[in-house]
Amino acid sequence: MGDTNGQVVAGGNGLGNRLDQLYRPTDVLIGKETDSLIICDRRNQRVVRWSRLSGTTQGEILIDNITCAGLAMDDQRCLYISDTDKDEVRRYQIGDKNGTLVAGGNGKGDGLNQLNEPRYIFVDQQQTVYVSDCYNHRVMKWNKGAKEGIVVAGGHGQGNALTQLSNPLGLFVDTLGTIYVADSSNHRVMRWPKGAKQGTVIVGGNGYGKERLANENYLSDDNRSNSEQRSRRSSLAAYPWMRFSFFNLNKKTTTYYI
């Protein structure tokens, strides 16, 4: 904390598809057990793993032929990956190449059994999957084993009313079921209590600008109860207007980092 210079821990050798390269990475998980980074290497259509041990110069491919956008990991160390080409989310055990469908997978659309450009994912301790259904402008909740999802935020078309979202991206769900979502095209972060018909703006919401939010991309909890700590990065060199939104939840306070 306080460092002014970062350290390259994966990639950094220009864009490309070699094992020492990345191309527009969109998400990353940090697993404590394996001390490695699991990265959504989106433009290379693969998920790769990079050891955090000193001297690591390249990654290994875990899953390929997948247009991944978001990653999550549950307490059983299963990976959840959103695929924006197939409009679905699958769960993978480490080493599994095919995975199990847990959300969407019924073609692109706005039905309750469909997704349209699913981006980021949150998985709770009951293996309930929350998905930012970007082009449907809603957040969907899929209970374990469900054949269709439940709209838990947005879902009233694209717009900036408190009942609406516009291209939602990063999301987090606390232990009370409250949803925090980066409402990217509205330049705001919304909070939706469990069962609420509308959300509350908690950060931004005053349009685009330096003193406002540019394009919120990521929400994460620094005190996760899961086995891994999460962080997410975008291709900032290609999209300098993106910035991160972080928050830390504990028993008494919510602190936001923009």
Q: What tokens does 94 get?
A: 């480490």
- Say what the pLDDT of residue 171 is: 95
Strands 215-216 and 242-243 come out as parallel
Q: What tokens does 182 get?
A: 């980066």
Range of the domain at 202: 25-257
- Say what the pLDDT of residue 255 is: 39
Please check whether residue 82 is in contact with residue 118, taking contact to mean a CB–CB distance below 8 angstroms: yes
Task: Count the neighbouring beta carbons within 10 Å of the beta carbon of residue 49.
Answer: 18
Residue 96 forms part of a structural domain: yes
Residue 93 forms part of a structural domain: yes
- Say what the pLDDT of residue 3 is: 77
Task: Give the CATH number, domain containing residue 63.
Answer: 2.120.10.30
- Say what the pLDDT of residue 25 is: 94
Q: CB-based burial of residue 160 (10 Å sphere; 0-12 exposed, 13-18 middle, 19+ buried)?
A: middle
Residue 229 forms part of a structural domain: yes
Residue 47 forms part of a structural domain: yes
DSSP H helical ranges for 138-251 = none
Residue 24 — left, alpha, or beta (φ > 0 → left; ψ -120 to 50 → alpha)?
left
> b/e string for 108-134 if b means 16 or more Cβ within 10 A?
eeeeeebbbbbbbbbbbeebbbbbbbb
Residue 227 forms part of a structural domain: yes
Residue 81 forms part of a structural domain: yes
Please check whether residue 22 is in contact with residue 44, taking contact to mean a CB–CB distance below 8 angstroms: yes
In residues, how long is the chain?
A: 258
Residue 99 forms part of a structural domain: yes
Per-residue pLDDT of the chain (258 residues; tens, 9 = 90+): 677 888 888 888 899 899 889 999 999 998 777 889 999 999 999 999 988 888 888 889 999 999 999 999 999 999 999 999 999 999 999 889 999 999 999 999 999 999 999 999 999 999 999 999 999 999 999 999 999 999 999 999 999 999 999 999 999 999 999 999 999 999 999 999 999 999 999 998 776 665 445 455 555 554 333 333 333 333 333 333 333 333 343 333 343 333
Phi, psi of 72 (to 5 degrees): -150, 160
Residue 20 forms part of a structural domain: no
Measured CA to CA, the distance from residue 6 to residue 184 in angstroms comes to 26
Total of domains in the chain: 1
What Å distances lie between residue 239 and 90, 216, 233, CA to CA? 27, 12, 11
